[in-house]
Amino acid sequence: MLRRNKVTVVGAGNIGATCAHWIAAKELADVVLVDIIEGTPQGKSLDLMQAAPIDGFDVKLVGANSYEETKDSDIVIITAGLARKPGMSRDDLLKTNADIVGGVTDEIAKYSPDAFIIVVSNPLDAMAQLAFRRSGFPKNRVMGMAGVLDSARMRCFLAEALDVSVEDVTAFVLGGHGDTMVPLPRYSTCAGIPITELLPAEKIEEINKRTANGGAEIVGLLKTGSAYYAPSLGAVEMAASILKDKKRILPCAVYLEGEYGINNLFVGVPVKLGKNGVEQIIEISLTNEERAALQKSAGAVQELIDVLGI
Ligand code: APR
């Protein structure tokens, strides 16, 4: 029997509620929004349901403070946890968010044992690894959203610098979702032309830095929280590629076992996302300098993993 796709979004804060919004607007799936705060997921779901007649989307949204309603979800997006405030790094969230993401993962594994998990909570790579270990799910079903966001930020800055449509700009960012992320200008293009042929080296370096600092720039402006429109859409793009078996090639945090010389660690690399989740990890050739930057970034993730002992 046919049934609609079902996506659970855990955390009904800025990112979670905006995920629900994008999913509904794209008519991707029915949504269960879960939060520990009573009334918030219910209120936001009801509000979104009342937007349906205006936009004409036919999806059902419900809010909950427990997990019965989430049973047999196809995909679970985890956005629960504290967000950064000015002056905080993503790593400052480690202990608090590990407790939250660990508890959430137990519930997901119990109620939706066949789901794909997309982690958004920070520090991203460590939280994805925690969800992987805690759920016991196979590695193709657990992934973190960071690269889609980081490369979107880079595309946005590149399009602005080139004065062209964002549609014609691709960008490549590898590594952990932190200050050590590795933008790869050689693999970033405008209409197929490497940007290294279109922009001076200093401008590219400035864009690389702004990309790596993209989250902090927004935290500094918002002051009370962190970015959510682009992060939530990044997670929904990954969900869409799985639900529609699109086989998009997207940079995602996934469990590496030797790829890029990295072992037993979640780090951002290009992957193919389809109906089986992470269907392929794509290895591209790197210069010695790029490889060293990726190793450094992986080292920063490993430090967090060591603190958590997972
Ligand atoms: N279960 C469910 N929801 C929880 C839990 C929990 N155990 N603990 C906290 N939450 C909820 C909060 O009640 C809040 O509504 O998570 C929500 C987080 O929302 P925001 O504070 O608005 O944070 P947001 O901007 O959405 O970011 C969420 O994603 O990108 C990361 O760094 C960011 O870790 C942060 C997360």
Which residues form the catalytic set?
A: 177
Concatenated DSSP letters of 1-60:
-----EEEEE--SHHHHHHHHHHHHTT--EEEEE-SSTTHHHHHHHHHHTTHHHHT----
Cβ(119) to ligand 1 under 6 A? no
Residue having the nearest C-alpha atom to atom 14 of ligand 1 = 13
Dihedral in degrees, nearest 10, Cα atoms 252, 253, 254, 259: 90
Cβ(39) to ligand 1 under 6 A? no
- pLDDT value at residue 273: 98
- pLDDT value at residue 86: 86
Cβ(281) to ligand 1 under 6 A? no
In the chain, the N- to C-terminal Cα span, in Å, equals 40
- pLDDT value at residue 148: 97
Cβ(83) to ligand 1 under 6 A? yes
Core vs surface per residue 26-46: b (16+ CB within 10 A) or e: eebbbbbbbbeeeebbbebbe
Question: pTM of whole model > 0.95?
Answer: yes
Q: Which atom of ligand 1 is nearest to the CA of 34?
A: 2
- What's the 2 CA to ligand 1 centre distance in angstroms? 33
Half-sphere exposure of 30 (CA within 13 A, CB side): 14
Name all domains of the chain by residue range, CATH numbers in brackets: 6-144 (3.40.50.720), 147-308 (3.90.110.10)
- What's the 11 CA to ligand 1 centre distance in angstroms? 5
The length of the chain in residues reads 310
Element (H, E) at 119: strand 116-119
Find the DSSP H helices in 114-263: 124-135, 147-162, 201-212, 214-222, 229-243
Cβ(43) to ligand 1 under 6 A? no
Cβ(70) to ligand 1 under 6 A? no
Q: Which atom of ligand 1 is nearest to the CA of 231?
A: 30
- What's the 167 CA to ligand 1 centre distance in angstroms? 31
The best mutation among 44, 82, 84 to test binding of ligand 1, ranked by most ligand atoms within 8 Å of the C-beta, falls on 82
- pLDDT value at residue 84: 82
- Per-residue pLDDT 10s for the chain (310 aa) are 889 999 999 999 999 999 999 999 999 999 999 999 999 999 999 999 999 999 999 999 999 999 999 999 999 999 999 988 888 888 889 999 999 999 999 999 999 999 999 999 999 999 999 999 999 999 999 999 999 999 999 999 999 999 999 999 999 999 999 889 999 999 999 999 999 999 999 999 999 999 999 999 999 999 999 999 999 999 999 999 999 999 999 999 999 999 999 999 999 999 999 999 999 999 999 999 999 999 999 999 999 999 999 9
The best mutation among 18, 19, 32, 36 to test binding of ligand 1, ranked by most ligand atoms within 8 Å of the C-beta, falls on 36
Cβ(144) to ligand 1 under 6 A? no
- Phi, psi at residue 11, to the nearest 5°? 100, 115
Distance between CA atoms of residues 162 and 75, nearest Å: 37
Cβ(37) to ligand 1 under 6 A? yes
Closest to 243 in 3D by CA, of 78, 68, 26: 26
Residue 281 three-state SS: strand
